[in-house]
Structure 1
Amino acid sequence: MPLHHELHGPAEGDAVLLSPGLGGSAGFWSPQLAALVEAGHRVIAYDHRGTGRSPADLPAGYTIAEMARDVLEVMDATSTPRCHLVGHALGGLVGLQLALDAPARVASLVLVNAWSRPNPHSARCFEARLALLGACGPRAYVEAQPIFLYPAAWCDHNAQRVAAEVEHALAHFPGEANLRARIGALRAFDVDARLGQITAPALVASAEDDVLVPWTCSQRLAEGLPQASLDRMPHGGHAHSVTEAAAFNRRLLAFLARVGAPGVPA
């Protein structure tokens, strides 16, 4: 079944493909859409397979490589030969895998709080989240989700927004089997020894107060990728593209301006 995808911006613009994290929803990138379109980019957003508007039963042993093949499907469906791929967390892993499997299709990478190999802290977080899901069900799982995404002060200041997001996540919960398959895929991901093979320019964006993925994972990415720069923000949490959207967008647009001029197809 074709994946749900959306096109925004001018048809002739530089192609920017947005790959969300574990939640899998194109809506995660709402804080970036207007800025990218205003800068002249052709923006492609999609729902990952088995989430949101791309329903599917994910198989056991599901992999990041399969998710990368889904990106190629979206690119082919939108007549996109190359793209600047912006990926958040799991979406960043998909970008790394795509750059290894189909390097000619990747003009650049923006990796937001991503990683190249498993780490014990994130593993502990995912174990706790899966235990909560198994023992208490989807409601408890999605109620806990903002703790891992956002700084506490931001959640407090945006309490109504967070509550609405929780209800939306519960209404669109992908099912326990699919969620476990997606978490299994990201936990098995390890391309640390292959980072030197990825020659696309990369912006590695991290937040130092990310409670789910240590910012040092981004540091390792930046050190291992041949053409990478590390952008460290002191505050914003795991989803700092949401909580510090204006600052994030400035950095994103500056990077894209360096690696490809709008109006020239990627």
Structure 2
Amino acid sequence: MRTIELDDTTIAYEEGGPADGVPVLLSHSLFFDHRMFDPLAALLQEAGFRTIAYDQRGHGQTPGAPRERLTMDARTADAAALLRGLDLAPAHVVGNSMGGFVGLRLAARHPELVRTVGALGSSAEEEHQLEAFAPLVERLGEEGAAPAIDVLLHIMFGDTSLASRPDLVAPWRERMAALSPAIADSALEVIHRAPVVEELAGCAVPVLAISGAEDHAYPPPLSDERLADAAGGRWVRVDGAGHSVALEQPEACAAALLEHFARHAVPA
């Protein structure tokens, strides 16, 4: 992977596609890393886009940080610095779950850096399952992810994937189970994030909300109709996918995103 020095950390990222293609920044979910976008990135690259999938702090090959650097605001600042540091702006920004939280904040706070946002399996609202998720996060901090792996997989994948896609789920079971108790700091900031509904009022950046019909974490309409309403955007619901819709149904996501990009293309 490539790396770039930003402020107080080193961000690892994977780049692909034509060097002169319109850039697409890919921002992953909690518990995942840039590899969750491998299938989607390949499809976007085939369509002529340049993709940059990065590891957020405390995930993949990007080092962790104190909790105050793991908030959604801090992660948004990281993404903005990455867009500037790699001279990507304005870029399409596509984020799944935690990555979507980042994308929505970029749209609201740094519209000059963003062409469009695709928020997948995401929400503009405060955490609606806080009482259910808080004990899980506490357990992660005490024991790491391995003892809770079945719960995590249920949250992060849809029923179809869990029942019939062992080729997809098994590698992530192994990767997630290896996560140390430090992952709890990231999880805690995710579930205690502030809403951005008011910030998105009058948003000038075109936003597309893509949901998985089987999302156990942020089920529709939270992750599609309500998000689109908050951002003044559009929404698409994908069958056969759960919370990790970018990974579970990359073809459907690519089709929706490419239509979204084309709808808001800047004339040459």
Q: Which runs of 5+ in 1 are unaligned?
A: none
Residue 82 of structure 1: how far off its partner (Å): 1.1
- What does the per-residue CA deviation read over 1:183-208, in whole Å, with 9 as the maximum and x for residues that have no partner? 32442221112221421111111123
Assess if the C-alpha contact under 8 Å between 2:43 and 2:251 holds in 1: no
What amino acid is aligned across from residue 255 of structure 2 in structure 1?
R
Q: In 1, distance between residues paired with 2:191 and 2:56? A: 13
Measured against aligned partners, the alpha-carbon deviations of 1:136-157 in whole angstroms (never above 9, x if no partner) come to 5421233432111222342222
* Aligned partners of 1:24 and 1:48 also within 8 Å: no
1:13 paired with 2:47, answer: no
Deviations 1:158-192 (A, max 9, x none): 23542332112233x2x323432443244222111
Q: 1:221 aligns to what?
A: 227
User: 2:119 maps to what in 1?
Assistant: 111
The SS at the match of 1:17 is: strand
8 Å contact from structure 1 (residues 90, 186) kept in 2: no
Kept in 1, the 8 Å contact 2:126–2:193? The answer is yes
State percent identity of aligned pairs. 26
Partners of 2:145 and 2:176 within 8 A in 1: no
CA RMSD of aligned residues (A): 2.2
**TM-score, normalisation: structure 2:** 0.88
SS of equivalent to 1:92: helix
Name the SS of the counterpart of 1:52 in structure 2. coil
Corresponding residue to 2:59 among 48, 51, 57: 51
Which structure has greater helix proportion?
A: 1
Amino acid at match of 1:203: L
Task: From the superposition, tell whether residues 61 and 188 of structure 1 become closer, same or farther in structure 2 (CA, over 3 Å).
Answer: farther
Per-residue deviation, 1:45? 0.7
Q: Does 1:176 align with 2:184?
A: no
The alpha-carbon deviation at position 114 of structure 1 amounts to 1.0
**In structure 2, C-alpha distance between the alignment counterparts of 1:208 and 1:45, rounded to whole Å:** 25
1:73 alignment counterpart: 81
Deviations 1:201-253 (A, max 9, x none): 11111123211112122311211223x11112243111122222222221121
2:171 maps to: 164
